[in-house]
Amino acid sequence: MENRPLEVSIQDGVILMVIQGELTGERLPLLEEDIKKANAFIREESEKASRPLPILIDLTELSGTYDPSAMLLLANLEKVDRPYVTKTLCFGANPTIKFAGEIISALSSRENITFLKTKEEALAALKEGA
Domain 6-128 fold is Transcription Regulator spoIIAA (3.30.750)
Hey, where are the domains in the chain? Answer: 6-128
Task: Give 5's contacts (C-beta < 8 A, 6+ positions apart).
Answer: 19, 20, 21, 23, 27, 30, 31, 34
Quick check: 115 pLDDT over 50?
Answer: yes
pTM attached to this predicted model: 0.91
pLDDT of residue 1: 40
Strands (E) located in 2-127:
6-11, 14-19, 21-23, 53-58, 62-66, 85-91, 113-116
**Average pLDDT of the chain to the nearest whole number:** 91
pLDDT per position as a tens digit, 5-15: 999 999 999 99
Element (H, E) at 72: helix 68-81
pLDDT per position as a tens digit, 9-37: 999 999 999 999 999 999 999 999 999 99
